[in-house]
Structure 1
Amino acid sequence: MTEDKGVEWRIKVEDGPWKTAVTCCSIWEFIANRYSKLCKFIKKIWMIGVNDPRKFIHCLKVGMALTIVTLFYYLKPLYNGVGGNAIWAVMTVVVALEYTAGATIYKSINRICGTIVAGLLAFSVHWVANKAGEQFEIVIVGAALFILASAATFSRFIPTVKARFDYGAMIFILTFSLVAVSGYRIDEVFPLAIQRISTVIIGTSLCIIISITICPVWAGLELYVLVIGNLDKLANSLQGCVDQYFEAQTANEESNKKLMGYKCVLNSKASEDSMANLARWEPAHGNFHFRHPWKQYLKIGATMRRCAACIDALVGCIHSENKTSDNMKKIMSQSSMKVGTNSACVLRELAITIKSMTKSNKLDILVVEMNNSAQELQNLLKSYPDTHNNSNAKMEIPIIEIIQVVTVVSLITEIVARVEDIVKSVEELSNLAKFEPAMFKCDKSKQHSTDNKISPEEQEKDEVAIIKTLQMV
Structure 2
Amino acid sequence: MEIDQPATQKKDSLFACGWGWLKALLSKSTNKAVKVAKSTKKIGQDDPRRVIHSLKVGLALTLVSLVYYMRPLYEGFGVSGMWAVLTVVVVFEFSVGGTLSRCLNRGFATLFAGALGLGAQHLASLFGDKGEPVVLGLLVFLLATASSFTRFIPWIKARYDYGVLIFILTFSLVSVSGYRMDELLKLAHQRLSTILIGGATCIIISLFVCPVWAGEDLHKLIASNLEKLAKYLEGFEGEYFPVSDSSEESTVTFKVDKALDLQGYKSVLNSKSTEESLANLARWEPGHGLFGMRHPWKQYLKIGALSRQCAYHIEALNGINTDIQAVPLEFRNKIRESTTKMSSESSKALKALASAIQTMTDTSAANTHVEMSKTAIKELKIALKDYSVPENVDHIVAIIPIASVTSMLIEITRCVERISESVHELASLAHFKGVEPTVSPEKPHLLHRGSIKPVLDGDDHDDHVIITVHATNNVQGSVLENEIHHDQAPKANYLQRRLEV
Distance 2:325 2:136 in 1: 76
Which deviates more, 137-146 or 192-201?
Answer: 192-201
Change (3 A) 1:349 1:322: closer
Offset of 1:323 from its aligned partner? 7.6
Normalised to the residue count of structure 1, the TM-score between the two structures is: 0.87
User: 2:283 is matched with which residue: 260, 263, 280?
Assistant: 280
Offset of 1:215 from its aligned partner? 0.5
User: 1:336 is matched with which residue: 339, 357, 369?
Assistant: 339
Offset of 1:338 from its aligned partner? 1.3
- Partner residue, 1:420: 417
Residues 88, 200 of structure 1: 8 Å contact kept = yes
Alignment of 1:401 with 2:398, yes or no, is yes
User: 1:466 is matched with which residue: 440, 455, 458?
Assistant: 440
Correspondence list, 1:30-429, <5 A: 30-247=25-242, 249-250=251-252, 251-317=254-320, 319=321, 324-327=326-329, 328-388=331-391, 394-395=392-393, 397-429=394-426
Offset of 1:320 from its aligned partner? 5.1
Change (3 A) 1:53 1:469: closer
Normalised to the residue count of structure 2, the TM-score between the two structures is: 0.83
* Larger strand share, 1 or 2: 2
In structure 2, the gaps of 5 or more residues are: 1-5, 244-250, 446-473, 476-501
Distance 1:60 1:362 in 2: 43
SS in 1 for 2:288: coil
Change (3 A) 1:469 1:234: closer
Q: Which amino acid in the other structure matches residue 418 of structure 2?
A: D
Change (3 A) 1:404 1:199: same
Which deviates more, 320-329 or 47-56?
Answer: 320-329
- Deviation string, structure 1 residues 254-284 (Cα, Å, up to 9, x no partner): 3311233111111000000000000000011
Q: What percent of counterpart residues are identical? A: 42
Residues 243, 337 of structure 1: 8 Å contact kept = no
Residues 324, 405 of structure 1: 8 Å contact kept = no
Distance 1:320 1:45 in 2: 43
Distance 2:169 2:82 in 1: 16
Distance 1:97 1:212 in 2: 11
Distance 2:406 2:255 in 1: 24
Distance 2:109 2:388 in 1: 71
Distance 2:33 2:12 in 1: 32
- Deviation string, structure 1 residues 86-134 (Cα, Å, up to 9, x no partner): 1111110000001111100000000001100100000000011112211
Change (3 A) 1:23 1:139: same
Offset of 1:417 from its aligned partner? 0.7
Distance 1:235 1:126 in 2: 63
Residues 238, 259 of structure 1: 8 Å contact kept = no
Change (3 A) 1:348 1:468: closer
- Deviation string, structure 1 residues 361-403 (Cα, Å, up to 9, x no partner): 4222222111111221232234321232xxxxx35x4332111
For this pair of structures, how many residues does the alignment match? 432
Which deviates more, 80-89 or 138-147?
Answer: 80-89
Change (3 A) 1:49 1:468: closer
